[in-house]
């Protein structure tokens, strides 16, 4: 599968304002299952860009803006080639991982931030006790069950507000955005002794084909032998070739697609528009 993805973020202001440094997590992560064929980044106003790789291996663009403006526009145009994720689930039988997983002591210091459960979370623990039934012989299957439980419990709701709801808040409201649902699944997995991280990126689907999607979020869990495996609680299943990850972190703040600030009055900000459009291209022979 070859995907063409366009992502535009535009901030409008009543008067020209001065922008502080912005941090962008918008370049897909390349690997055995994804190759970037083309990547373009268009920014306005005038700017200077420095690319770095953070501690999680994400490609980060640090942008310094060189002039005031009443419109800040960040646009990416990328073509990626997706291959079938490896390994496929039907190849897992010889590698079936018991639940809860036992991690190699050599990996323990690395995965510690991903497996540490949240602080006091009584509602989360009660929810798990009441509804989660694990399979002692299949850790990956158990995480799929947990993913489906989040999908069955939480009603998806688009939210334009900044930040992420806590798992306690999401469970209390029984609704949340994709990032809220991903955070709930991540913290629930950790509560079960499974290393988990937050993933941000794009999902090629009906909304993005119609040009009315936004960025997407899901969860990845780390299992012995199988490595990092993605689950999307918004759709209630494992990730597919339609999921394109741009950043991963032990906390949602680490992979916000666009983060930064401006110098001006609060009411100078007037509007934010984010659109993600995707289309499937003909595979190159």
pLDDT tens-digit series, residues 265-279: 999 999 999 999 999
Per residue in 107-165, pLDDT tens? 999 999 999 887 789 999 999 999 999 999 999 999 999 999 999 999 999 887 778 99
Average confidence (pLDDT) over 94-114 = 90
Look over the chain and give the mean of its residue pLDDT values, rounded to a whole number: 94
Per residue in 222-255, pLDDT tens? 999 889 999 999 999 999 999 999 999 999 999 9
Place of tokens 């697609």: 257
Per residue in 6-38, pLDDT tens? 999 999 999 999 999 999 999 999 999 999 999
Which helix or strand (DSSP H or E) is residue 182 part of?
helix 178-191
| Contact criterion met (CB below 8 Å) for 216 and 178 | yes
Taken in order of first residue, the domains within the chain and their CATH numbers are 2-83+257-281 (2.60.40.2250), 89-254 (3.10.620.30)
Tell whether the model's pLDDT for residue 256 goes beyond 60.
yes
Tell whether the model's pLDDT for residue 4 goes beyond 70.
yes
Percent of the chain with pLDDT over 70: 95
Average confidence (pLDDT) over 35-58 = 97
pTM of the model: 0.94
Tell whether the model's pLDDT for residue 193 goes beyond 70.
yes
State residue 92's pLDDT score: 55
**Cα separation of 22 and 39, whole Å?**
19
Give the list of residues 6+ apart from residue 194 with CB closer than 8 angstroms, or none: 100, 101, 115, 139, 143, 221, 222, 223
CA quadruple 34, 52, 202, 146: dihedral, nearest 10: 90
């Amino acid at each position: 599968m070859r995907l063409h993805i366009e992502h535009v973020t535009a901030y409008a202001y009543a008067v020209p304002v001065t922008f502080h440094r912005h941090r962008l997590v918008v370049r897909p992560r390349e690997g055995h299952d994804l190759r970037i064929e083309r990547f373009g980044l268009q920014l306005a106003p005038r700017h200077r860009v420095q690319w770095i790789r953070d501690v999680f291996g994400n490609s980060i663009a640090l942008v310094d803006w060189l002039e005031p403006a009443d419109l800040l526009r960040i646009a990416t145009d990328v073509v990626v080639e997706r291959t079938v994720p490896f390994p496929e689930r039907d190849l897992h039988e010889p590698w079936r991982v018991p639940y809860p997983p036992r991690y190699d002591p050599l990996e323990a210091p690395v995965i510690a931030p991903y497996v540490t459960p949240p602080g006091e979370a009584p509602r989360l623990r009660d929810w798990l006790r009441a509804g989660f039934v694990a399979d002692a012989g299949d850790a990956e299957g158990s995480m799929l069950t947990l993913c489906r439980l989040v999908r069955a419990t939480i009603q998806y709701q688009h939210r334009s507000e900044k930040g992420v709801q806590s798992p306690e808040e999401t469970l209390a409201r029984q609704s949340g955005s994709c990032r809220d649902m991903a955070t709930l699944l991540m913290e629930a997995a950790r509560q079960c002794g499974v290393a988990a991280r937050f993933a941000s990126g794009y999902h090629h689907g009906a909304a993005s084909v119609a040009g009315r999607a936004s960025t997407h979020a899901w969860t990845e869990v780390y299992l012995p032998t199988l490595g990092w495996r993605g689950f999307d609680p918004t759709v209630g299943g494992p990730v597919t070739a339609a999921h394109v990850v741009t950043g991963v972190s032990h906390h949602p703040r680490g992979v916000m697609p666009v983060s930064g600030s401006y110098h001006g009055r609060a009411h100078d900000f007037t509007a934010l528009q984010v659109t993600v459009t995707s289309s499937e291209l003909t595979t190159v022979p």
